[in-house]
Chains A and B, each alone.
Chain A
Amino acid sequence: MALAKVRTLALLGLVGHLVDVEVDISDGLPGYTLLGLPDAALSESRERVRSALLNSGLPWPNKKVTISLSPAWLPKSGSHYDLPIAIGLLAAQGVVENTVPETLVLMGELGLDGAIRFVRGVLPTLIASLAFGAKSAIVPVENYREAQAVPGLQVSAFTSLTEVVHFLQTGNSPIQEVSQEPEETHDFLDLIDVVGQTQARYALEVAAIGGHHLLLIGPPGTGKTMLAERISTILPVLTPAESLEVSAIHSVAGSLATRGLLTRTPPFVAPHHTTTTTAMVGGGSHAVKPGAVSLAHAGILFIDEAPECASGVLDSLRQPLESGCVTISRAVGTVTYPASFLLVLAANPCPCGKFNGRARGCTCSSREIRNYLKKLSGPLLDRIDIRAFVEAPTRLEMASEMHGESSALVKSRVVSARAVAADRFSGERWSINSKIPSSELRGRFKAERSAMAFLHKELDSERLSARGFHKVLRVAWSIADGCGDIRPTRSSVEQAFLMREGSFL
C-alpha cells in the first residue's frame, strides 16, 4: 500500500489541533503536492525532506507524491511537520511499518543532512496531544527536557532521521542522557542595592502584596529601573501550574531556553518604549506569536519611559489589564493567550527629567510638562492603583553605611500578607486584593466605619471617582494585610488614597 498516515499537531495560540499527515504515493510523473494550507516555511519542507532522506541513505519516491495535512481548513505553519512528512513517506514506501501507531505524535524540523532540529512550542503541543489520546511522542533532542515536563507521555528524543527509522523498525530507543533538574536561575538582583527610597520601596511592597499596578515617577538616574527590576525578587514564586503555563507561552515564543524550563521566578519583561503594538500584545501574519504582555504572564511587565511610547501601544494594554488575557485575530484564526501581569510604568516627571517638585534646573514649560504626562491616557492611568515618586537619594542616605532591607526580608512579608489574603478569600473566585470585585468592596469587604466615612467625604468633594473609590479600598486592603490589621483602618485608607494620588508620605 502506498498510503500512510502519521500524526502531529498544529498549535494555534496555546490550543493544539490534531493533524493527520497523510502520504499517498501513486504512479505518474514525479511530483510533490502538499495540501492543507501550508505557510512558506512548511512549503519549503519538500526540499528539506528530500535532501534529508537522500543524505540519510533512505529512499525518496520518484513518483507522484500527495501529502495532505488534515483538517484541510486549518492553516498550518512552521517546520515541525518535516519529521512526520518524512516518516509518512517512508511508511508509504514500506521502509518502516506502515501502521505508525495513532497514539504516537511526531515533531521536528529536518536538516539537509537528516539531523533533527529544535522546534518551537513543543511543551504546549504535547500537553494538547494528551487530550487527543496521545501516548508517546518523538521530538528533537534539544526539546527533550521540555517534552519530559509533560506528564503521562512516553517521550523519545532523537538527533537524526536514521535514528528515528531505526527506532520505528526495531523499537530500540537510543540511550537518553539523564536530564538534569532544572536549575533555578540565580538572580543577583536584590533590593538591598537600592539606596534610600523608603517611599518607593513601600509602594513596591504594597504592589507586590495585592498585585496592584504601579507607576514610578522620578528624575533620571534615581533608581526607577533599579526598583522595577527588583520587584520579581519580592513576589512569591509561581505555583507549579503557573510555572507550566508560563513555560508553555515561552515555548511558543521560542524563549524557553533563555527563561529556563519550569522556572519558579515570576517573569520580568521590559519591552523598549519604541516597541510596536504587535510586539506588545502579540501577532504576526502566519503564526500568531505571544507578545510582551503574554511573556510577562504571572510576572511583571515593565515599561520604562512610558510617555515616550506610541500612544496606541500603551492603550493596547487596556484589554489585557481588564481581562487578564489577550485575544488576537488574524487570517489564520483567533488566538487567546493568557496575559495577567503586574504592570509597572516608569516616567520622568517632565521631558527634561529634572522637574521634581522643586523645579531644580528644569527647563520645561508648564505646558510641556502637562503634555508629557498627558501621553499616559486617562483610561490607562485609571487602572494604575499606586503612583510613587522616586527622588534622588539625599547626601545622608548616600553616605550612610546602613543598607535598606533585603529582598528576602520583604518577600517574606509579602508572602505572609498574601497568605492572609488568600485565607480570607478562600472559596472566592479571586485570591489577591487587586481582584476584589467592586460590589464586594461595598459589602463584605468594607473598611472600618471611619475609613469608609473618609472615602465618602472624598467622593462627595469629587476628589475621587467611583472607580478610584474601589481602587483605594483594594490598595487599603493590601496595606492592612501588610501591617496585620484584620480590616483596613482609617490610616490605611488614607495612605492608599495618597498612594493613588501619588503624593503620599
Chain B
Amino acid sequence: MNKQILGAQGEEAVFHYLQGRGFTILDRNWRIKAGEIDLVALTPNDEIAFVEVKSRSSLKFGDPLEAITADKAYRLQKLALAWLVLHNMWGKEFRIDCAGVIFGTNGKSEIDYRESVL
C-alpha cells in the first residue's frame, strides 16, 4: 500500500472515530509552511483537540506512536499555537492527542487513541 494512501486512510478512519465519539471536526490537514496538523476537533468538553495521526500496515516496525519523537512533539505544539492564533481562539482550552492506526491484512483498522499526550 502506498504511503500517502495509507496516511490518508488512517486520517479518514480517525475522522470517523472522533465523529462517533461526539467530536466536532474543525479542520483537516491544516497546512502552513511550518508543517501540518492532521485533525483539529472540538471535544464534547469544549476543548480543542489537535490530533496527530500515525498509520502503519503492521506492527513489524514497532508501534506507530513510537514514531512521534520529541522533535515532532515540539513542532506539534508550535503548530497548535499557530492554529489558535490564526483562528482567533487564543486562550481557549486545548490539548494534543495522538492516534495510532494499524491496518490489518483484512483491511480493518485498529485505532489506539491517546489523549493529552504532550
Chain A residues within 8 Å of B, Cβ to Cβ: 27-30, 62, 64
A and B contact pairs by CB, cutoff 8 A, 8 listed: A28-B117, A29-B68, A29-B118, A30-B65, A30-B66, A62-B63, A62-B65, A62-B112
Residues of B within 8 A of A27 (CB): 114-115, 117
Residues of A within 8 A of B68 (CB): 29
A interface footprint on B86-118 (CB within 8 Å = 1, 0 otherwise): 000000000000100000000000001011111
Asked if B26 lies at the interface with its beta carbon under 8 angstroms from chain A, I say no
Say how far B118's CB is from chain A's closest CB, in angstroms.
7
Residues of B within 8 A of A29 (CB): 65-66, 68, 73, 98, 114, 117-118
With A29-B73, A29-B98 as given contacts, are A62 and B66 in contact (CB-CB < 8 Å)?
yes
Q: How far is the CA of A30 from the CA of B73 in the complex (A)?
A: 12
A interface footprint on B35-65 (CB within 8 Å = 1, 0 otherwise): 0000000000000000000000000000101
Closest 9 CB pairs of A and B: A62-B63, A28-B117, A30-B66, A29-B117, A30-B65, A27-B114, A29-B68, A29-B65, A30-B63
Residues of A within 8 A of B117 (CB): 27-29, 64
Residues of A within 8 A of B114 (CB): 27-29
Most chain B Cβ neighbours within 10 Å, of A27, A28, A30: A30
Q: How far is the CA of A64 from the CA of B66 in the complex (A)?
A: 10
Residues of A within 8 A of B98 (CB): 29
Chain B residues within 8 Å of A, Cβ to Cβ: 63, 65-66, 68, 73, 98, 112, 114-118
Q: How far is the CA of A352 from the CA of B87 in the complex (A)?
A: 91
Residues of A within 8 A of B116 (CB): 28
Say how far A63's CB is from chain B's closest CB, in angstroms.
8
Say how far B74's CB is from chain A's closest CB, in angstroms.
12
Say how far B14's CB is from chain A's closest CB, in angstroms.
16
Residues of B within 8 A of A30 (CB): 63, 65-66
Residues of A within 8 A of B66 (CB): 29-30, 62
Q: How far is the CA of A29 from the CA of B68 in the complex (A)?
A: 8
Say how far A305's CB is from chain B's closest CB, in angstroms.
56
Say how far B96's CB is from chain A's closest CB, in angstroms.
10
Q: How far is the CA of A62 from the CA of B66 in the complex (A)?
A: 8
Residues of A within 8 A of B118 (CB): 29
Residues of B within 8 A of A62 (CB): 63, 65-66, 112
Q: How far is the CA of A29 from the CA of B62 in the complex (A)?
A: 13
Given A27-B117, A29-B68, A64-B117: 13 more A-B contacts, CB < 8 Å: A27-B114, A28-B114, A28-B116, A28-B117, A29-B65, A29-B66, A29-B114, A29-B117, A30-B65, A62-B63, A62-B65, A62-B66, A62-B112
Residues of B within 8 A of A28 (CB): 114, 116-117
Q: How far is the CA of A28 from the CA of B114 in the complex (A)?
A: 6
Say how far B38's CB is from chain A's closest CB, in angstroms.
15
Q: How far is the CA of A64 from the CA of B73 in the complex (A)?
A: 14
| Closest residue of A by beta carbon distance from B98 | A29
Residues of A within 8 A of B63 (CB): 30, 62
Residues of B within 8 A of A64 (CB): 117
Q: How far is the CA of A62 from the CA of B114 in the complex (A)?
A: 11
Residues of A within 8 A of B65 (CB): 29-30, 62
| Closest residue of B by beta carbon distance from A27 | B114
Residues of A within 8 A of B115 (CB): 27
| Closest residue of A by beta carbon distance from B112 | A62
Say how far A298's CB is from chain B's closest CB, in angstroms.
53
| Closest residue of B by beta carbon distance from A62 | B63
Q: How far is the CA of A27 from the CA of B117 in the complex (A)?
A: 7
Say how far B100's CB is from chain A's closest CB, in angstroms.
8
Q: How far is the CA of A29 from the CA of B98 in the complex (A)?
A: 8
Q: How far is the CA of A296 from the CA of B117 in the complex (A)?
A: 56
Q: How far is the CA of A28 from the CA of B117 in the complex (A)?
A: 4
Q: How far is the CA of A464 from the CA of B50 in the complex (A)?
A: 89
Say how far A475's CB is from chain B's closest CB, in angstroms.
69
Q: How far is the CA of A276 from the CA of B115 in the complex (A)?
A: 57
Say how far A246's CB is from chain B's closest CB, in angstroms.
48
Say how far A391's CB is from chain B's closest CB, in angstroms.
73
Residues of A within 8 A of B112 (CB): 62
Q: How far is the CA of A30 from the CA of B67 in the complex (A)?
A: 9
| Closest residue of A by beta carbon distance from B96 | A29
Most chain B Cβ neighbours within 10 Å, of A27, A28, A29: A29
Say how far A161's CB is from chain B's closest CB, in angstroms.
21
Say how far B23's CB is from chain A's closest CB, in angstroms.
18
Most chain A Cβ neighbours within 10 Å, of B114, B115, B116: B114
| Closest residue of B by beta carbon distance from A63 | B114
Residues of A within 8 A of B73 (CB): 29
Q: How far is the CA of A29 from the CA of B63 in the complex (A)?
A: 10
Say how far B29's CB is from chain A's closest CB, in angstroms.
21
Q: How far is the CA of A82 from the CA of B66 in the complex (A)?
A: 22
Q: How far is the CA of A29 from the CA of B114 in the complex (A)?
A: 8
Q: How far is the CA of A27 from the CA of B97 in the complex (A)?
A: 11
| Closest residue of A by beta carbon distance from B113 | A27
Say how far A72's CB is from chain B's closest CB, in angstroms.
23
Say how far A49's CB is from chain B's closest CB, in angstroms.
16
Say how far A51's CB is from chain B's closest CB, in angstroms.
13
Q: How far is the CA of A42 from the CA of B65 in the complex (A)?
A: 25
Q: How far is the CA of A64 from the CA of B116 in the complex (A)?
A: 12
Q: How far is the CA of A30 from the CA of B112 in the complex (A)?
A: 12
| Closest residue of A by beta carbon distance from B118 | A29
Say how far A93's CB is from chain B's closest CB, in angstroms.
15
Say how far A140's CB is from chain B's closest CB, in angstroms.
29
